[in-house]
Amino acid sequence: MNVEKLFRQIPSFDELNMDTILFESKYPVLFTCTKGQEVYLFSCCLVNASVVKWIGTKTDYEILIQLLEDKITIQEAFLSGEKEKLLIEYDGKNVQCEFVAKGQIPVELLPTAGEYMDAEEDEFSEEIAVFKSRIYNFEYKILPRKNSYCFLHYRGKTITLSDNYYGQDYRTNDEVMLSIKKMSQQSVAYV
């Protein structure tokens, strides 16, 4: 069963890529997928002769790192972040995807409460290093907007705005509001 191919049958996930398998049996059980700059965490929650079901959530790399470092449970990783969760079902022929509020997820489909990854020392050190590198190395284009301000939320130490004529570093702890009247089509790098 090629999970990536199955998930790509979902209209909004036609560019989804399997990223990191965190636990597998005969098939990936707990894994991440990426779609552009977005990252998703999926868990195979039911397998029987007639159906396979997955639960998924859009997440971020900090949550994944906390999960791999046993700072949060697997269930906490799924319930944090986005309010809408994905329920994907494959019956051997068709793939169906449903977006549900996190309070509407059947308890039996959620990872067991209180369960951690229980990783051995350095078991996920490579994955953690890759995830950490992705936190601080994003680049976005600022597109023209109707208003002249752009809010940037970030977790890095600096933001660098640059084009051929303009370069400016902003160092703050949490949030930056920038006038973008003269900054359209510039690159934003999170460092």
Residue-number span of the structural domain to which 143 is assigned: 139-190
Q: Do 86 and 20 sit in the same domain of this protein?
A: yes
Q: Do 92 and 28 sit in the same domain of this protein?
A: yes
Quote the pTM value. Answer: 0.71
- Is the pLDDT reported for residue 2 higher than 70? yes
Alpha carbons within 13 A on the beta-carbon side of 34: 10
Q: Do 34 and 127 sit in the same domain of this protein?
A: yes
* pLDDT value for 87: 94
Q: At what angle do helices 61-68 and 125-135 cross, to 10 degrees?
A: 160
Q: Which residues pair with 33 in a beta bridge?
A: 18, 40
Q: Do 131 and 147 sit in the same domain of this protein?
A: no
Contact 20, 133 (CB under 8 A): no
Report the SS3 class of residue 151: strand
Among candidate residues 119, 135, 151, the one where a domain is terminated: 135
Among candidate residues 117, 135, 153, the one where a domain is terminated: 135
Q: How many domains, in total, are found in the chain?
A: 2
Q: Do 66 and 149 sit in the same domain of this protein?
A: no
Per-residue model confidence as pLDDT tens digits over 101-138: 988 988 888 999 999 999 888 899 999 999 998 886 54
